[in-house]
Amino acid sequence: MIGALYLQNQKIQDLSSINIHLKKRLFFNNFLEITKVRLSASVLFSSIAGYLLGTEIVHITEVLLLCVGGYSMVGASNVYNQIIEKDLDALMSRTKNRPIPSGRMSVNTALAIAVSLTIIGIVSLYIINPITAMFGSVCIFMYVSLYTPLKTKTPLSVFVGAFPGAIPFMLGWVAATGDFGIEPGTLFMIQFFWQFPHFWAIAWFLFEDYEKAGFFMLPTGQRDKSTALQAVLYTLWTVLASLIPVFGVTGTLYLTPLSGVLIGLIGLVFLYFSICLFRFKTNKAAKQFMLVSVSYITVLQIIYVADKFIR
Rounded Cα gap, residues 102 and 95, in angstroms: 9
Name the pTM for this structure.
0.92
Amino acid identity of 112? A
CA angle 145/148/154 to nearest 5° reads: 110
Rounded Cα gap, residues 151 and 149, in angstroms: 6
Q: What is the mean pLDDT of the chain?
A: 93
Give the distance from CA 111 to its chain's centroid: 20
- In the chain, helix, strand, coil percent, each to 5? 80, 0, 20
Q: Per-residue pLDDT tens for 97-151?
A: 999 999 999 999 999 999 999 999 999 999 999 999 999 999 999 999 999 999 9
Rounded Cα gap, residues 177 and 171, in angstroms: 10
Instruction: Transcribe 34-50 into DSSP letters.
Output: HTTHHHHHHHHHHHHHH
Is residue 85 predicted with pLDDT exceeding 60?
yes
Rounded Cα gap, residues 257 and 52, in angstroms: 20
Rounded Cα gap, residues 168 and 171, in angstroms: 5
> Residue 4 has what pLDDT?
56
> Residue 249 has what pLDDT?
96
> Residue 3 has what pLDDT?
55
Average pLDDT of 270-288? 98
Rounded Cα gap, residues 271 and 293, in angstroms: 9
The CATH H-level (homologous superfamily) assignment of domain 39-180 is UbiA prenyltransferase (1.10.357.140)
Rounded Cα gap, residues 229 and 277, in angstroms: 9
Rounded Cα gap, residues 100 and 106, in angstroms: 6
Is residue 16 predicted with pLDDT exceeding 80?
no
Average pLDDT of 39-43? 91
> Residue 25 has what pLDDT?
81
> Residue 305 has what pLDDT?
97
Give the rounded percent of residues in the chain with a pLDDT score beyond 70.
Answer: 93
Amino acid identity of 270? F
